[in-house]
Structure 1
Amino acid sequence: MNLVSLLRLLPLILSPSLLYPVESRGGEKDPLLHPLSGLAHHTYVRTGKRLLEEQSQKRVDLAKGYMSNSDLEKAMKDFTQRCGNISRMYRIGKSVKGVPLWVIEISDNPGKEEAEPAFKYIGNVHGDEPVGRELLMRLANWICDNYPKDPLAELIVDKVHLHILPSMNPDGFSLRKRGNANDIDLNRDFPDQFFSVNNEMGRRQPETRAIMNWLRDIRFTASASLHGGALVANYPWDGTEDRRRSYFPCPDDETFRFMASIYSRSHHNMSLSKEFEGGITNGAAWYPIYGAMQDWNYIHADCFELTLEVSDNKWPPANELPTIWEHNRKSMLNLISSVAKTGIHGKIFSSETGRPLPGSVMIKGINHTVKAGRAFADYHRLLAPAEKYEVMATMTGYKSKTTIIRLEAGPMALDFILDPEVSNGEHRLESVCDCSCTTGGSGLEVMGFLWNSHLEVYFVLVIVLAFVCILLLRKRARLSFLRHSRQQGGGPKRAVVA
């Protein structure tokens, strides 16, 4: 081979795609990992195989057989008309080009806050991965068609609030590209725990802001986003502190592995993967990315989110969609129902008033706190089955309470009744003293005489009265709890009060 031939081959030899082989999470590898790509927010590396696939797909109409954005909106409106008794449609924001981001909620009481876990599915995060938007509409229609005759559909409608956003990136879909209309990868646009490259609110994309505001309005227990280009259930963390590829577990690693396995094992063949053991992977162990949506969900919204790769082909022919749906249907349904069928669920009450307290629940050894809701003080804490968990409930102004449980395959109802840091008896004793000090001189002398003469008797009476009041209030709190439990009905069978 002569010198001229070698020079012609040099660009190919030094090609980044050959030096750094790329896996496919949503189709691309993050630029921050690549020493030749800099920090460009939307510069990606592709393998030769991926380029050939994309070039061949450009020769045909990719969208043939897929719903357009207007078709999708019409399908959602038709659905809420057909299934209006269990659904509603609402908007969480708009895309760069002003396309509404529509959501369907499915519940026996849509639009009403209840002491039930909420789950969300998001599709089409990347514009060139449209399978998710099609699967999510099929999911909604399956639930409507099978409620209440199918037990799984009945459980989801009656015990979960399901929210479906079929397309987070309608502009990218229209443009047939990964990023949004500003060419930004929306799954790299969230605030990151390790690097502040995209922490400026003014530069955040409208689609990203819509998701963040959505999670401030609704307290989701768990969620998943649907992607294409591989077949695996991905869980946090997505990034590492040193940007190196390595397994980087979050505090709830066991729980996330459990959730990912629910999806993988219910899938037609995901768990049989030769590339990913059990069909699941830690994000950073696959390849690190930064500004990912699932990490932000867990850190800032107590929402346990998975990133699901549901199709080896990012944009398969539309005639393959029925098969892809059948392969993923059971997994999608089981993941939703898991928020009601596993973990611990309950409320936090005040022993003083019997009213709900919006406190927090912590697990010893897991550095992550789950907050109870304000309206009902209900919490839904996802956990993998285990021999023992030490669970603690806390609330400002109240004494924390801890109990040890054994969590089996099913859910457990665990309520907490917290005592105030200062008892009623102490409050009453202080009020007697305060009142006596503000009376006139003659009254003060009489009270002083009575107090000095019968100090021991009064003290015993106050203690007895305080004790009786505490017992009555505790009884009222327990009755209130039982009344709430009967109103909810059908929840976890094993009820525990701490």
Structure 2
Amino acid sequence: MTELRDLTPHSAITSEQSTRDRRQRHLLRTFLPELVSLERTLAEAPEQVRCSVIERIETGPLTLPVYRVDMGAEAADAPAILLVGGVHGLERIGTQVVMAWMRNLLARMAWDESLRSLLDRVHITFLPILNPGGMYKNQRSNPNGVDLMRNAPIIAQDRSAFLLGGQKVSPRLPWYTGDPEAGMEAENRALESVISNLLPGRPFSLALDCHSGFGWQDQIWFPYAYRRRPMRKIASVMALKLIWEQAWPDHTYRFEPQSRHYLTHGDLWDYFYKRINRDSAGTFIPLTLEMGSWRWVRKRPRQLFRLDGLFNPLAPHRHKRVLRSHLAFMDFLLNATASYRNWLPQGAEESMLREAAIMHWYRDQQ
């Protein structure tokens, strides 16, 4: 599946190679257990699950794979949903939430007839660990010091937040955008290749990128991050929000455009949203799940003294609660993607929902 797992005939394995392989396995189990867990899950997956390595990232003594996992309908015009985790290496909980839902689906495929029927109509793609080098090194950026969420070729139209909105000074400082002359980083080019291969030509597609971030509440963010004006298909986001709240009225997510918090340079999903919706007749909605980490820190203040404690639930019972708490929302997104024809607004309804969205999210910016 990757060079880390390729099997060599026993007679050809030298003592030096064996020692090196044991060291690599030890490093992975210690510093990147999510990759070990992912590979074990994929090794046991049903045969209808397709897996490939879309990029390999060099970091210290290891070459780390970026996995793509596909399941469901293979028709080019089937609606599709893309799940992404691990964009920021420190935010391991994003990868873990994506993998929790993936394992849930894989287990149900053996017996759940309704899920099998659903997968005949919708395509699912997972990129559980987009930034394995950053996760291995326990840092937000990739191994080059670039913040992947500030690395797309798109510039904020108004003043961005100092440093937080992206800076070009140094990779030694957080939120480094990278060198514009060098283009996007390898991890983002891999994501771009997946999106270019997967989404154009589909009537409807949706992406969910899972992060943790400072806040008391779980938030669902949508474009834009580079400007405060509403996105062209804002009515579709409002329609999605409404059917979610009608079906799960007791939810605690807060739906907002990211621009209500701060503007940034180089936002990946702004870039892909504009590109896909410009070049395709279908509708593409990218969402970002920002899990509120302040709640975890408040209940366990000693996490403040650990870098990973700022972004991840460390108490075992709280970690399990987070993993299961987002399964219903992900199931909803899957069903909404498969049934987009029943709720995606058209004509007069689209105009009405656009006006409602502007009043709801942008009234104080008019």
CA distance in 2, matches of 1:227, 1:168: 12
SS at match of 1:121: strand
One-letter identity of the residue aligned with 1:213: S
- Give, in angstroms, the shift of residue 69 of structure 1: 6.6
Contact 1:169 1:180 in 2 (8 A): yes
Q: Which residue of 2 aligns with 1:335?
A: 333
Aligned-residue offset at 1:92? 1.6
Deviation digits for residues 360-385 of structure 1 (CA, Å, limit 9, x no counterpart): xxxxxxxxxxxxxxxxxxxxxx8347
Letter in 1 for 2:65: P
Deviation at 1:68, TM superposition (A): 5.9
The corresponding residue for 1:254 is: 235
Structure 1 match to 2:66: 101
Shift of 1:123: 0.5
**CA distances 1:414-469 after superposition (whole Å, capped 9, x unpaired):** xxxxxxxxxxxxxxxxxxxxxxxxxxxxxxxxxxxxxxxxxxxxxxxxxxxxxxxx
Structure 1 pair 120–330 and aligned structure 2 pair: CA distance change class (3 A): same
Contact 2:32 2:135 in 1 (8 A): no
Which residue of 2 is the match for residue 142 of structure 1?
A: 104
Residues 262 and 335, structure 1, Cα contact 8 Å, conserved in 2: no
Contact 1:311 1:324 in 2 (8 A): no
Structure 1 residues 180 and 224 mapped into 2: Cα distance closer, same or farther (>3 Å)? Answer: same
Q: Which residue of the other structure, out of 57, 82, 104, is the alignment partner of 1:120?
A: 82
3-state SS of 2:219 partner: strand
Instruction: Summarize the alignment of residues 25-64 of structure 1 with structure 2, pairs less than 5 Å apart.
Output: none
Q: Does the 8 Å CA contact 1:227/1:311 hold for their aligned counterparts? A: no
Indicate the SS of the match to 1:226: strand
Secondary structure of the residue aligned to 2:264 is coil
Tell me the TM-score normalised to structure 2 length. 0.65
Match of 2:226 in 1: 239
**Aligned to 1:301, which of 252, 266, 276?**
276
Aligned 8 A contact 1:267 1:330 in 2: no
Does the 8 A contact of 2:46 with 2:106 survive in 1?
no
Task: Give the alignment of 1:188-227 within 5 angstroms.
Answer: 188-192=150-154, 194=156, 200=180, 202-219=182-199, 221-227=205-211
Q: How does 1:288-437 map to 2 (within 5 A)?
A: 288-302=263-277, 303-312=284-293, 313=296, 314-317=311-314, 319=316, 320-343=318-341, 383-384=344-345, 388=349
AA of the residue aligned to 1:84 = P
Q: Percent identity?
A: 18
Higher relative contact order (CA 8 A, sep 6+): 2
Structure 1 residue 150: Cα displacement? 4.0
CA contact (8 A) 2:100 2:324 kept: no
- Deviation for aligned residue 1:296: 1.2
Residue 252 of structure 2, aligned match among 246, 251, 270: 270
CA RMSD of aligned residues (A): 3.1
- The equivalent residue for 2:356 is none
Relative to structure 1, the CA distance from residue 267 to residue 144 in structure 2 (aligned partners, 3 Å threshold; closer, same or farther) is farther
Retained in 2: the 8 A contact 1:227–1:310? yes
CA distance in 1, matches of 2:29, 2:100: 12
The residue type equivalent to 1:251 in the other structure is: R
State the secondary structure of the residue aligned to 1:163.
strand
Equivalent of residue 154 in structure 1, options 101, 104, 116: 116
Higher alpha-carbon deviation: 70-79 or 130-139: 70-79
- Does the CA contact (< 8 Å) of 2:236 and 2:350 recur in 1? no
Does 1:184 pair with 2:149?
A: no
Q: Which amino acid aligns with 1:330?
A: A
Q: CA deviation at 1:333?
A: 1.3
Provide the residue aligned with 1:88 in structure 2.
50
CA offset digits 1:201-259 (Å, max 9, x no partner): 6242111111112222222621110010241000111122xxxxxx4211111212333
User: 1:76 matched to which residue of 2?
Assistant: 38
What code does the residue aligned with 1:169 have?
N
Deviates more, 1:67-76 or 1:86-95: 67-76
Distance of aligned partners of 1:284 and 1:206 in 2 relative to their CA distance in 1, 3 Å threshold: same
Q: Paired residue for 1:283, among 245, 258, 269? A: 258
1:219/1:68 Cα in 2 relative to 1: closer, same or farther (>3 Å)? farther
Provide the C-alpha distance between the structure 2 equivalents of 1:85 and 1:131, rounded to a whole number of angstroms: 27
- Cα separation, partners in 2 of 1:177 and 1:153, compared to 1, 3 Å: same
Q: Helix, strand or coil: the match of 1:310?
A: strand
The residue type equivalent to 1:301 in the other structure is: I
Any idea what SS the aligned residue of 1:141 has? helix
Number of residue pairs matched by the alignment: 272
Q: Secondary structure at the match of 1:134?
A: helix
Quote the Cα distance in structure 1 between the aligned partners of 2:88 and 2:288: 12
Q: Deviations over 1:297-320 (max 9, x none)?
A: 211123321111134252111612
| Shift of residue 86, structure 1, vs aligned partner | 2.9
- Verify the 8 A CA contact 1:121 1:163 in the aligned structure 2: yes
**Any stretches of 5+ residues in structure 2 without a counterpart?**
1-27, 158-165, 169-176, 278-283, 297-310, 352-366
Q: Which amino acid aligns with 1:82?
A: E
State the SS of the aligned residue for 1:99: strand
3-state secondary structure, aligned to 1:290: coil
**Alpha-carbon separation, structure 2, partners of 1:162 and 1:147:** 13
Q: 1:74 to 1:156 in 2, by over 3 A?
A: farther
Tell me the CA shift for residue 326 of structure 1: 2.0
Rg larger for: 1
SS at match of 2:83: strand
Equivalent position amino acid for 2:266 in 1? G
